[in-house]
Amino acid sequence: MNDLALSNKTNLDTYTGWRARLALSFAHHRDKTRVVRSSRMGPLSVQRAFYPEDEVCHSYLLHPPGGVVGGDRLEVIIVVEPQAHALITTPGATKFYRSGGRLAHYHQHLKVDGEGALEWFPQENIFFPDSQLKMHTQIDLQSGARFMGWEMQCLGRPAISERFDQGQIRSSLHLCMDGKPLLIEHFNTLNDQLQHSASGLRGYPMQATFFITPADEALLDKVRETLDKTLEKMNHPDIHAGATQLEGLIVVRFLGHQTEALLAIMTQVWITARPVVMNKAACVPRIWAT
């Protein structure tokens, strides 16, 4: 029995929260990318595909309950086959509510075959005070795959001066190429320790990371130039951003206070990098404007 089959049988008799799983496979078929295989269980689903740029499949992941609570177990699996190109986003933030002492689990596994392309742009994760979460994102790329994706994390709700002063988040991300780890990230905090750590968020409630591959020094220079110009134009002193390169992977990191400002500058980075990585001009998902 494979791991996915096992995951469907885990603690079903004693489980006290939502159990949800969504698995999607994208393939190039009849001149465009289509969802060729789909399976779901529980309150996770995908909206009908959009084709604003013809062959690229734009998909919106949906979580109808509107949030994750203690005891929930969610699993999202995305497979992009050769020659396919998918852009996946969400219509809103994923909210992790107060858990009542129970642990929520959220697992995401993204797999892109050689010559496949995935743009993974979920909106922010909002961690309410007293939420308890274990989250893992696994990104497996094969040689020749193209990937652009981000994660945005928000501790508390800074818009109403609510702090993440109670709770625990254990989040990790592994990005691998042909099975070799290129990047391993951790976002772990007990209460507000990470937010106030000099080696953590340095007082900021929001953190975001943007991943771009394949990439070279020329693209890194373009990304850095875009960051400088956009920050100067926005005149937003509360955003810090920087880009580095690890082998063929560009990692752009951000600290800030507001989702809208972070999303705006990350979108500008995407507009700069997409023609190089995907050989296409940026086509902003219409859901971002709502």
Q: Which two three-digit tokens encode residue 1?
A: 């029995």
Q: What is the DSSP string of the chain?
A: --HHHHHTTTTTTT--S-EEEEEEEEEEETTEEEEEEEEEESS-EEPPPB-TTTTSEEEEEE-TT-SB-TT-EEEEEEEE-TT-EEEEE-SS-EEE---TTPPEEEEEEEEE-TT-EEEEE---EEE-TT-EEEEEEEEEE-TT-EEEEEEEEEESBGGGTB---S-EEEEEEEEEETTEEEEEEEEEEETTTTTT-TTTTTT-SEEEEEEEES--HHHHHHHHHHHHHHHHHHT-TT-EEEEEEETTEEEEEEEES-HHHHHHHHHHHHHHHHHHHTSS-----GGGG-
Q: Which residue ranges make up each domain of the chain?
A: 15-289
* pLDDT at res. 8: 40
Are β-strands 94-96 and 57-62 bridged in parallel, bridged antiparallel, or unpaired? unpaired
Residue pair 104/131 in contact (Cβ under 8 Å)? The answer is yes
Angle at 198 between CA 195 and CA 201, to 5 degrees: 35
* pLDDT at res. 184: 96
Residues of the chain with pLDDT under 70: 1-16, 64
Give the sign of the dihedral formed by CA 227, CA 229, CA 230, CA 234: positive
Residue 238's CB: how many other CB atoms inside 10 A? 11
Residues contacting 276, CB < 8 A, separation 6+: 219, 222
* pLDDT at res. 165: 92
* pLDDT at res. 283: 94
